[in-house]
């Protein structure tokens, strides 16, 4: 493990099979301490496959890599939770990054989306993202030396829209929030980027979807959560400090096929 780099707050790490789990393990391997946000009732509500103690097991695996880890449960549909997560992550005064992999995703279309579903998607995917970024940015100095990187923000997005309307629309809002952070918080030393990982099977794909997605991927296979973690780890490294304000497609060419 490399030398300690500070603390990263990472959201959406509720299941061992999630992208968030791979992100947490990769960052721990790179020397980051972690505050991990999770919310089990969401995974239960949508029927995601998970073990009884997945967040704790993920945290223990990160600790085995030398990372100090704090688990903080919280429903990001509630406005106060975002600030509480950032305050917990900043307790050691070394918070250096946000990695946002939380989401609300329940399929519905233009004609059958409910107001309740629409508002919850935007509360979790858009409003919570803004509040997390805001609380993080407020803790950084107003000005820093040119070229100095004081904080990094990486968020996960999606192209999904048709028949997953509130999810796709709220992820589009997330994109704009994070790109705005790259500009508005740039003087504070922030580097902010969005990653679109394409279709990753975290337990939701049927065999038919797996086959179709593989055929549409020029690289010849489905992406994995490890592929996404590799890019996040780069963006969180010193070598990734020149990249900011971007939506990066890490999907084996899926969007070009």
Read off the CATH number of the domain in which 165 is found: 3.40.50.720
CA dihedral over 90, 126, 120, 105, signed as positive or negative? negative
- Residue 127 CA to residue 111 CA, distance in Å, equals 24
Beta bridge partners of 153: 98, 192
* CA 74 and chain centroid, separation: 15
Domain count, the chain: 1
Q: What is the pTM of this model?
A: 0.94
Q: Tokens for 244?
A: 């900011």
- Under DSSP, the state recorded for 78 is S
Given a cut of 60, whether residue 80 has pLDDT beyond it is yes
The better pLDDT of the pair 253, 23 is held by 23
Residue 194's domain comprises 6-256
- Does residue 34 belong to any structural domain of this protein? yes
- Within a domain: 1: no
Asked whether residue 71 is domain-assigned, the answer is yes
Pairwise CA distance, residues 144 & 142, whole Å: 7
Neighbours of 150 (CB within 10 A): 16
Quick one: average pLDDT of 83-111? 97
What's the pLDDT at 186?
96
pLDDT at residue 256 in the model: 62
pLDDT at 128: 98
Judge whether residue 2 has pLDDT over 70.
no
């Amino acid at each position: 493990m490399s030398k300690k780099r500070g603390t990263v707050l990472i959201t959406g790490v509720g299941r061992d099979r999630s992208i968030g789990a791979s992100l947490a393990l990769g960052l721990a391997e790179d020397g980051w301490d972690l505050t991990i946000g999770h919310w089990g009732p969401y995974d239960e509500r949508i029927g995601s496959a998970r073990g009884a103690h997945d967040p704790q097991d993920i945290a223990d695996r990160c600790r085995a890599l030398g990372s100090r880890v704090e688990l903080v449960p919280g429903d990001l549909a509630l406005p106060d939770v975002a600030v509480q997560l950032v305050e917990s992550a900043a307790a050691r005064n070394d918070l250096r990054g946000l990695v946002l992999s939380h989401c609300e995703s329940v399929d519905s279309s233009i004609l059958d989306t409910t107001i309740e579903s629409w508002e919850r998607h935007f509360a979790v995917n858009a409003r919570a993202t803004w509040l997390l970024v805001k609380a993080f940015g407020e803790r950084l100095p107003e000005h820093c030396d040119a070229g100095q990187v004081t904080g990094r923000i990486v968020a996960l997005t999606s192209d999904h829209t048709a028949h997953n309307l509130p999810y796709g629309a709220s992820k589009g809002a997330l994109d704009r929030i994070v790109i705005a952070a790259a500009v508005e918080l740039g003087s504070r030393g922030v580097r902010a980027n969005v990653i679109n990982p394409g279709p990753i099977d975290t337990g939701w794909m049927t065999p038919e979807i797996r086959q179709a997605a593989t055929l549409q991927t020029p690289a010849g296979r489905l992406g994995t959560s490890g592929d996404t973690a590799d890019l996040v780890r780069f963006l969180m490294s010193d070598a990734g400090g020149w990249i900011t304000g971007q939506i990066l497609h890490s999907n084996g060419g899926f969007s070009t096929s």
